[in-house]
Structure 1
Amino acid sequence: MPALVDLGASIIIQDGEYNYLLVANLPEVWSKEYSVTPTDMQLFGEDVAARLAALKADMLEPGRKGQLEVVVGAEQFFEFRVQAVEFAFGGLHLVTTIVDRSEERHRERLLRALLREVSHRSKNLLAIIQSIALQTARYSGSLDLFLHKFRGRLYSLSQSQDLITDSSWRGAYFFDLVQQQTEKYLPENRHLVKVSGDNLLLSPNASLHLGLALHELIVNAVSHGSLLRSGLPVEVSCMRKRVDDHDMVEMVWHEPLQPGHGPGENTQQLKAHFGSTVLERVVPASVNGKAEYLISRQRISYHLTFPLEPANE
């Protein structure tokens, strides 16, 4: 019994007639003054006493055990364990231990909430992947081209997801997002992407889709643009603006083109190769925003505006 008390358990011993012989370390919620000969009713109230009576009614021989859980208010959980024990003197006795399970139950509730959140976010991520797969397949002329584009876009999502996970699902900062999405394609030329403006913490949904847009833009710049040939840096900015009493995010990608190094004159055809569907439709629709994507012989620009969602704190 001293060992159980040291572990925080409460001990109650009753004889075969349910008379109290010992009460030790009763939880504070029930530790009010009680008489010399207390009863379950006096200590725990009518509801708990009735449940204990039903449990103890089956304790007619040594070795029988039973347990029940009692909830006090909304935050406290106690486990009652009752066991019939044959004492050397006095015959059958009932030994009841009471253990505070509040912390365990709170952890369990938190874990269930986290699992529901993970399930919800996983479904959202799968929906994004499905959308990307459909759009990539629609505008890919061959299986090899589809696989090439789809793998790149999945890699982009995984990189953004790493930032979100590292922040405990709060989201990702804009500057980190730009660096992460561009450094793979410019390992020795990071100076070719200049970032300015507000380093906003974007929501998980905005982080994933903005990362996808940045991936499309940097891949286009390296593969089809004049970024490496001309050495003219790309300017990426992010600004927080107040529009009609709403906080908005304005992201601008400005890629200057050196004469003779531009994409040529057939800009509509090039747009199909430059992932315009992702940039003009998928990304803005997913963040409830608007996008403008321009390609000319002088520059390539992308302007995305969307509401600033509060990141998860």
Structure 2
Amino acid sequence: MHPLTWQQAGQSDGKLREFFMPALVDLGASIIIQDPRREYLLVTNLPDAWAVEQFASPSDVSLFGEDVAAKLSLLKQGMTEPGHKGHIEVTVGSDQVYEFRVQAVEFERGGVHLVTTIIDRSEERHRERLLRALLREVSHRSKNLLAIIQSIALQTARYSGSLELFLNKFRGRLYSLSQSQDLITDSSWRGAYFFELVQQQTEKYLPDNKHLIRVGGDNVLLTPNASLHLGLALHELIVNAVSHGSILRSRQAISVSCTRLHLEGHDSLEVAWDEVLDPAHASDPGEDALKAHFGSTVLERVVPASVNGKATYAISSGRISYRLVFPLESAAE
């Protein structure tokens, strides 16, 4: 008896074995028993792929076909001593996977028999394939995200005059990426909807004045790449609006929209940001300084290049306007 097996005193092994077979069948296992001459003694609960209504003299070939029988024959070679074990996996069709587990067992009478258990591994292997695909996707997206972070770090350092300024800007941009990534993750990596992206990137800076951001147009599902970069652009625009104080002084709502267009024979998206400057600030000769930092690099170069689009960023006549046009296939799935 196995050291981890317990049974009530007085109960014979033979009597208890009557319960083993129903239990194994209930678990979905198929069982085959062969005598020392490899003659079949028992076949029960075969998978549908090989199930037959009647057979006079079953064999590996008649039940499973020549290919599987050849693999089983090779596996069973040399299984003459009790305790010998082996297993193979067989694929049926495109997605059914079965494991054949064979072991040599010595009966009290009759010598060494072979007990073959067939277990359906299809669902398990399917999950493993999905997990491998998921891990590859995680690796791919992680590398892309790290490349974006590296670019942000380099560009932020280039336009920062001090370590304190660098850290302040870099943290803000990392937060922007993390917010966009949260939306992407919540959608199972399908991307982020435009309205939610705008809300998430702006509400932190206007917690008590959410009404000052008005979003309209088409609520397009953006790809993960477009979501990350457009989120970064929105971050720069809202930080600029709050930093130079225009939005809070003028109390004029910023208009943000996304519009489907058909340009040059291609379906495209136009993302627009329209902001009214405070009159006092609009006449300030230092207005062009608003663009002389990394923010303008993000808006005019980094973001459009990342989505294969074009952008214009203008500050004139008391207004700030930003237009980003890019192919729909770079934005929506």
Q: Which secondary structure does the structure 2 equivalent of 1:209 belong to?
A: helix
Distance in 2 between residues matched to 1:182 and 1:296, nearest whole Å? 23
Structure 2 residue corresponding to 1:288, chosen from 296, 308, 313: 308
1:90-138 Cα shifts (integer Å, max 9, x gaps): 1211110100101111111111111111111111111111111111111
Change (3 A) 1:263 1:108: farther
Deviation of 1:225 after TM superposition, in Å, equals 4.1
Contact kept in structure 2, 1:225 and 1:262, CA below 8 Å:
no
Residue 18 of structure 2 corresponds to none
Structure 1 residue corresponding to 2:221, chosen from 189, 197, 201: 201
Q: Which secondary structure does the structure 2 equivalent of 1:260 belong to?
A: helix
Which residue identity is paired with 2:71?
R
Residue 15 of structure 1 corresponds to 35
Residue 32 of structure 1 corresponds to 52
Matched, 1:157 2:177: yes
Residue 236 of structure 1 corresponds to 256
Change (3 A) 1:104 1:249: same
Distance in 2 between residues matched to 1:281 and 1:311, nearest whole Å? 17
Deviation of 1:48 after TM superposition, in Å, equals 1.4
Distance in 1 between residues matched to 2:150 and 2:313, nearest whole Å? 24
Distance in 2 between residues matched to 1:269 and 1:44, nearest whole Å? 78
Residue 117 of structure 1 corresponds to 137
Change (3 A) 1:255 1:274: farther
Distance in 1 between residues matched to 2:311 and 2:252, nearest whole Å? 24
Matches within 5 A, 1:114-263: 114-262=134-282
Which residue identity is paired with 2:128?
E
Deviation of 1:168 after TM superposition, in Å, equals 1.1
Contact kept in structure 2, 1:279 and 1:293, CA below 8 Å:
yes
Distance in 2 between residues matched to 1:115 and 1:285, nearest whole Å? 28
% identity of equivalent residues: 74
Change (3 A) 1:142 1:210: same
Structure 2 residue corresponding to 1:88, chosen from 95, 105, 108: 108
- TM-score, length-scaled by structure 2: 0.90
Specify every segment of 5 or more residues in structure 2 that has no aligned partner in the other structure, as ranges.
1-20
Specify every segment of 5 or more residues in structure 1 that has no aligned partner in the other structure, as ranges.
none
Distance in 2 between residues matched to 1:192 and 1:45, nearest whole Å? 73
- TM-score, length-scaled by structure 1: 0.96
Distance in 2 between residues matched to 1:94 and 1:274, nearest whole Å? 74
Higher deviation after alignment, 145-154 or 221-230:
221-230
Change (3 A) 1:300 1:60: same
Which residue identity is paired with 1:36?
A
Q: Which secondary structure does the structure 2 equivalent of 1:30 belong to?
A: coil
Higher deviation after alignment, 28-37 or 149-158:
28-37
Q: Which secondary structure does the structure 2 equivalent of 1:283 belong to?
A: helix
| Alignment RMSD | 1.6
1:126-154 Cα shifts (integer Å, max 9, x gaps): 11111111111111111111111111000
Higher deviation after alignment, 248-257 or 48-57:
48-57
